[in-house]
Amino acid sequence: MPPVSQAVLLSWSVPPAATFALVLTALVYLRGWLLMRQAGVPFVPLWRAVSFLLGLLSLWVALASPLDTFSGFVLTAHMLQHMMLMMLAPPLILLGAPVVPLVRGLPVFAAREFAGPFLNWRVANRVGHALTHPIVALLLMGTVMFAWHTPRLYELALASSSWHQVEHACFFLASLVFWWPVIQPWPSRARWPRWAVVPYLLVADLENTALAAILVFSDRLLYPSYAAVPRLFGFSALHDQAAAGAVMWVMGSLAFVLPAIAIAVQCLQSDRGLQQATAARQRQPSSLDSLLAMSQRLPFAGRFLRRRLSARRVEAISFLLLFAVTGLCLAHLASSSSDDDDQVLRSRQQSGPFAVSIFAPAGDLEAGPSDFSVLVQNRTSQEVLQDATVALRAQQSGNGRNTQWVRASTEDSENKLLPSASLNLPDNGDWTLDIAVERAGEKAGFSLPVHVVKPATGWSFPWSYAVLLAFSAILLFIYLRRHGSARTPLLPHPVAGDVSTANLPETAHTVR
């Protein structure tokens, strides 16, 4: 395997906060699934648990793999990432029937006081009914896809790591809503006849095909950022755009058409088979009845129902400690994680046999340590030169103050094609970044002017901790409101209930 290909495969950008959240979600689901398994609940077999975990894994791969690292360099890689976020992870997660196992896997106090009441809240039911209506889901999916692929919003996501994360969240959440009527995860009930899902998927395929055709057949580059960055794999930005459109066209069509064919075959089965399936569904208990029966069969359920108020206090204290530890860990990871997406292309220069691309944080740099990355290529062939030695230093204009030469390395860099180094720029003012490149006895020098400003004064509260405090305040308000009124009964057990008061299991409607 060529060294460049090896470096690409090693360029993983693992997001700490997202990884922590996904692992925690997997543990909660597995705990709930095991408890339901012990209770003999038949609606979430082993293959559903495997599907859910594969969905979380595919979501993590989309966010942490080289697809994310090179999304700003290669549009095709970015499109593959979007396909995983929209066409692979959401249906796998929904096939795992996640609602009840996730609620059942929560701590007893959290399920009883928050998750269970929320799922039985009329407003939540109405919002869920509205979002998962096939027409609304179809329109939402199409709107999100076309909006984020407009040049303005797409360029915004490329220029800002925060907006990039918002884009990914929109794709994933909209896709969950879209695939809900198709998968119809237990214990939800279908809103339309099963045959109506076939045109639903075909219309979505038409939307996907229209957007993909724009990328494939456009004679101009829709996203200028891909023309500015160095080309890493030998094809032009316009060819890259056409390849990205082809990926969207093929993968999207497969994701929509194959389930449509499977559902059409189900709908064309014999009347006898339909009658047998209907009779089987009628013999199955409702989701609420199943959950209540499960609560009676769980090993600790009887003891839980007989617990005194002091035991509830122990549960509350345990939940508070667990919530505080988990929330603080997640907030810390979200606020302290570094991402190469924060670096932008600052300059492209050529000298001698080399062409270099210099990456640094956008705008003026704050006084203190700053990270710089350099891509070295052959000036003629544009081949990435990984064996080149790169050294950096900074010189302040006016007083001749210099920093020491620092050799750039790929050890701490997410993108293994870009050697990086950290330089300390202690004073505000104009600085010049000097770059020395050497390979096989050939040398060249490059420079980049940068402006350094004083760090922002005052105390700033990290946004992740602010979100944690806001979420904590919401939970406290819900708890006080529920217990402040004598008319509000307590749920005796952390039963998720049905997603709506009429949501009964439709196992025959689930895509297998």
DSSP state of 111: I
pLDDT digits (tens, 9 = 90+) for 465-486: 888 899 889 888 888 887 775 4
- Judged against a pLDDT cut of 50, whether residue 165 lies above it is answered with yes
Arithmetic mean of pLDDT, 170-175: 96
Supply the pLDDT for residue 465: 86
Share of the chain above pLDDT 70, in %: 84
Question: Which run of H or of E encompasses 206?
Answer: helix 197-217
Share of the chain above pLDDT 90, in %: 43
pLDDT digits (tens, 9 = 90+) for 18-29: 999 999 999 999
pLDDT band with cut points at 50, 70 and 90 for residue 119? confident
Three-state DSSP state, 458: coil
Supply the pLDDT for residue 485: 55
Supply the pLDDT for residue 337: 57
- Judged against a pLDDT cut of 50, whether residue 41 lies above it is answered with yes
How many Cα neighbours within 13 Å face the side chain of 200? Answer: 26
Closest CA to 353 of 386, 375, 376: 376
Closest CA to 242 of 222, 218, 216: 216
Question: Which run of H or of E encompasses 435?
Answer: strand 429-439
Sheet holding 365-366, edge to edge: 365-366, 442-453, 429-439, 389-396, 406-407
CB-based contacts of 330, cutoff 8 Å, min separation 6: 17, 20, 21, 464, 468
DSSP state of 490: P
Report the distance separating Cα 480 and Cα 394, nearest Å: 57
- Judged against a pLDDT cut of 70, whether residue 161 lies above it is answered with yes
341-453 is classed CATH 2.60.40.10? yes
More confident residue, 273 or 108: 108
Report the distance separating Cα 379 and Cα 374, nearest Å: 14
Considering the entire predicted model, what is its pTM?
0.83
Supply the pLDDT for residue 162: 86
Q: Which of 323-332, 392-401, 478-487 has the highest mean pLDDT?
A: 323-332
Tell me which of 231-235, 239-243, 388-392 is least confident: 231-235
Supply the pLDDT for residue 509: 42
Supply the pLDDT for residue 317: 84
Q: Quick one: CA dihedral 493, 494, 495, 498, positive or negative?
A: positive
Closest CA to 354 of 433, 230, 441, 444: 444
pLDDT band with cut points at 50, 70 and 90 for residue 498? very low
pLDDT band with cut points at 50, 70 and 90 for residue 340? low
Q: Which of 182-191, 312-321, 396-405, 495-504 has the highest mean pLDDT?
A: 182-191
Supply the pLDDT for residue 14: 87
By CB atoms closer than 10 A (0-12, 13-18, 19+), residue 395 is middle
Q: Quick one: CA dihedral 218, 223, 225, 231, positive or negative?
A: negative
How far lies 85's CA from each of 20, 168, 415, in Å? 18, 7, 21
Arithmetic mean of pLDDT, 382-388: 89
pLDDT digits (tens, 9 = 90+) for 424-468: 888 888 899 999 999 988 999 999 999 988 887 656 667 888 888
Burial 151-187 (b: 16+ CB within 10 A, else e): eebbbbbbebbebbbebbebbbebbbbbbbbbbbbbb
* Domain range list for the chain: 14-333+472-509, 341-453
More confident residue, 99 or 315: 99
pLDDT digits (tens, 9 = 90+) for 46-80: 999 999 999 999 999 999 999 998 988 999 999 99
Q: How far apart are the first and last CA of the chain?
A: 39
